Amino acid sequence: MLSSTKGIVIHHFKYSEKSVIAKIYTEKYGLISYIVNGVRNKKSKNKAAYLQPLSIVEITANHKDNKGLQRINTIELEIPFNSIPFDISKSTIAFFLAEILYKAIKEEEANPPLFEFLHKTLQVLDLSANGYSNFHLIFLINLSKYLGFYPQNRNLPENIDHYFDLQEGLFTNLLPYHKSFLDPQLSTLFHQTLGTNFDAMETLTINNKQRKMLLSAILNYYSLHLSNFDNLKTLEILEEILY
């Protein structure tokens, strides 16, 4: 049945001389793989620019119940970005987060809260004039809420060392028996980031060295809770551009 839905482009790859297969996280159907014909044809309405990572699009397609490859009829930008495609730092963040989502989202059912989170936060990144160097850290911590392993937050007494247990997803004042934990200094940074929302991300004071360490810790946390979460191709580029 022909129907329309909003979607967020996660990934695409060449399918034929003029077509691609695009993985799009849709509002109505969850993660769907679409064939997009004629995408590299200049006369086509399905422009390649619409398939850039994390583009917010509106599509119409013959959505079938079997969840196999679907064929897109039309694709348009639902919300054209003003800065992400033209700002090297923002576009690098977008490519990095798109790879994270590609590896993390497996579900083929609709998840309205997750879609709403992605839809809103990508606009925050696009509209941020400055102070977005910690956006990806806050994004990843909040994304874990929709993936099922959001850290257990708690108030930490200032006079006691705490460790963040990466396996259990919680803060503890007892040294974990395993090696998957953050030391007190990094645990404090993790806790500060956990308590910071996007509106206040400029207030999170982290230098480049700390930012790199914190990102590594968050990615380790993801790898412990998601299968096949490794070999991120865009991580090196992100670190080169931002750090």
SS3 161: coil
At 131 the pLDDT is 85
pLDDT of residue 42: 64
What was the pLDDT predicted at 15? Answer: 78
Neighbour tally for 218: CB within 10 Å: 23
Structure tokens given for 125: 């990144």
Q: Would you state the pLDDT for residue 69?
A: 84
pLDDT for residue 238: 92
Nearest-10 crossing angle of helices 208-225, 235-242: 160
Residues 6+ apart with CB under 8 A from 207: none
Q: Give the three-state DSSP class for 195.
A: coil
Determine the angle formed by the axes of helices 208-225 and 135-147, rounding to 10 degrees.
Answer: 10
Which CATH number is 2-79's, of 2.40.50.140, 3.30.70.20, 3.60.20.30, 3.90.1150.10?
2.40.50.140
CATH superfamily for domain 84-242: Recombination protein O, C-terminal domain (1.20.1440.120)
Chain position carrying tokens 């969850």? 30
Q: What is the β-pairing status of strands 56-62 and 2-14?
A: antiparallel
**189-to-60, 65, 77, 184, 212 alpha-carbon distances in Å:** 44, 45, 37, 9, 12
CA distance 110 to 179: 36
Residue intervals of the chain classified under CATH 2.40.50.140 are: 2-79
54: left (phi over 0), alpha (psi -120 to 50) or beta: left
Structure tokens at 104: 């993390």
Residue of 37, 39, 35, 9 whose CA lies nearest to 24: 9
Single pTM value for the model? 0.92
**Host H or E run for residue 13:** strand 2-14
pLDDT of 67 reads: 65
The one-digit pLDDT tens for each residue of the chain (243 residues) are 788 999 999 998 877 777 889 999 999 999 999 988 877 666 665 577 788 999 999 999 888 776 678 888 889 999 999 999 999 999 999 999 999 999 999 877 889 999 999 999 999 999 998 889 999 999 999 999 999 999 987 776 776 789 999 999 999 988 999 999 999 999 999 999 998 999 988 888 889 999 999 999 999 999 999 998 988 999 999 998 887
Query: Among 156, 153, 132, 133, which residue's Cα sits nearest to residue 142?
Result: 153
Round to whole Å and give the CA distance between 48 and 98: 16
Distance CA 104, CA 107 (A): 9
Given this model, what pLDDT does residue 111 score?
93
The tokens for 117 are 């989170």
* Residues forming CATH 1.20.1440.120 domain(s) in the chain: 84-242
Task: Please give the distance of CA 159 from its chain centroid, rounded to a whole number.
Answer: 35
